[in-house]
Amino acid sequence: MATVSIRDLEIEFGNLKVLRNLDLEIEQGEFIVLLGPSGCGKSTLLNAVAGLLDVSAGQIWIGGKNVTWEEPKNRGIGMVFQSYALYPRMTVTGNLSFGLKMAKVPKDEIDKRVARAAKILQIEPLLDRRPAELSGGQRQRVAIGRALVRDVDVFLFDEPLSNLDAKLRTELRVELKRLHQGLGSTMIYVTHDQIEALTLADRVAVMNGGVIQQLASPKEIYRRPVNRFVAGFVGSPSMNFIDGRLSVEGGVASFELANGKRIDLAGYEFEKPPEHGRPATLGIRPEQVDLEQRDPSSRPIPVNLTLLEPMGADSLVWGDVGGTTFSVRIDGDAHVQTPSATDAFFQPAYASIFDLASGQRL
């Protein structure tokens, strides 16, 4: 168990700066998820923590020790890869014990630790098999076991579930969470899958362009995204964005659509007092819109519905508001006429408003 502290980290490949002035403090036993689109630098950050990449500037501390230039094996880390990276010519036992043999752990201790890890991960019947004889899920368990036997302080996961099919992914996700609760180790987990991020993490770091955009609890990330990028990246389908401007009259803030129609924003918590006339974007999640007014604080917004997508438990209704695409998630049994023009209702308290130019939350 250890804290991880990344201070002013910078990594460049040639002239390309992949990470810029990155700071990240991870507490002992915390489950941190690095979430972002491909190329955002999340895997680079993980590799730097593992010691597999040279750092251009800044420091990495693990467990109160500066390990910036330390070999991977001396950092107290274990790593699990998307491609499993099992040693093909060794049995499962060989794979699990390789690291211990390298560390010259005595034979009986190795046996004990391999047996324990195999028990935790329920791979005891597979110990004599080779990786080629295992299924994807089993391989990933062995890969996790390889970190487990070494009693590492920090687990690093590089998209560990991305190569698995949907059903297995859900199963292993739950197991990972259980494993974390059981071990209490610090875990850093890289993914581009927001469901994994939101379900697993204590805190999520949403990254883009080599910079952490927001570091917060999954709920906070979902509820109060700090900028338009985070708002658009987290949530599926993506948040609806409608451009317009703010209007403040007599201390009451409202959002003015392009056609001049105003929507009362009573209930929305502004970060700082709103300015009259500031160009802004109104962001509303599809699941926070309804086609009926169920709450007196809900505000109507006129929408043209064009298409219905049934998805089982619920349905998506696609349409537009003044030309911008707009989606609404409704109950799967609800009946909706398409195409039609109607009012959609949302509660300003659950919406987000961003500055049009900078994309920052207002």
Q: Are 286 and 327 in contact (CB under 8 A)?
A: yes
Part of the chain binding other proteins (CB under 8 A), chosen from 75-83, 197-205, 208-216, 246-254:
75-83
Q: Is 360 exposed, middle or buried (CB count within 10 Å of its CB: 0-12, 13-18, 19+)?
A: exposed
Using rule CB under 8 A, residue 18 touches other proteins: no
Using rule CB under 8 A, residue 68 touches other proteins: no
Using rule CB under 8 A, residue 87 touches other proteins: yes
Cα separation, 257 vs 282, in Å, equals: 9
Using rule CB under 8 A, residue 50 touches other proteins: yes
Which residue's CB is nearer to other proteins, number 101 or number 119? Answer: 101
Q: With H, G, I as helix, E, B as strand and everything else as coil, classify residue 9.
A: strand
Which residue's CB is nearer to other proteins, number 150 or number 173? Answer: 150
Beta strands in the chain (DSSP E): 4-13, 16-26, 31-35, 57-62, 65-66, 77-80, 154-158, 186-191, 203-208, 211-216, 240-249, 252-257, 262-264, 279-284, 289-290, 299-310, 314-321, 324-331, 340-346, 352-355
Which residue's CB is nearer to other proteins, number 103 or number 252? Answer: 103
Using rule CB under 8 A, residue 145 touches other proteins: no
Phi, psi dihedrals of residue 99, rounded to the nearest 5°: -65, -40
Residues numbered 108-137 forming contacts with other proteins, rule: CB under 8 A: 132
Residues 6+ away with beta carbon under 8 Å from 170 = none
Minimum separation from the CB atom of position 333 to other proteins (A): 41
Using rule CB under 8 A, residue 61 touches other proteins: no
Using rule CB under 8 A, residue 107 touches other proteins: no
For CA atoms 41, 46, 52, 58, the dihedral sign is: positive
Using rule CB under 8 A, residue 141 touches other proteins: no
Minimum separation from the CB atom of position 311 to other proteins (A): 35
Minimum separation from the CB atom of position 197 to other proteins (A): 22
Query: Binding residue for other proteins (CB under 8 A) from 26, 34, 77, 207?
Result: 77
Minimum separation from the CB atom of position 51 to other proteins (A): 8
Q: With H, G, I as helix, E, B as strand and everything else as coil, classify residue 74.
A: helix
Using rule CB under 8 A, residue 54 touches other proteins: no
Q: With H, G, I as helix, E, B as strand and everything else as coil, classify residue 205.
A: strand
Cα separation, 204 vs 74, in Å, equals: 27
Query: Binding residue for other proteins (CB under 8 A) from 1, 103, 174, 334?
Result: 103
DSSP annotation of 348: G
Part of the chain binding other proteins (CB under 8 A), chosen from 49-57, 163-171, 238-246, 332-340:
49-57
Query: Binding residue for other proteins (CB under 8 A) from 1, 102, 195, 307?
Result: 102
Using rule CB under 8 A, residue 69 touches other proteins: no
- First-last CA distance in the chain: 39
- Residues in contact with other proteins by CB under 8 A are 47, 50-52, 71-73, 77-79, 81-83, 85-89, 98-99, 102-103, 132, 143, 146, 150
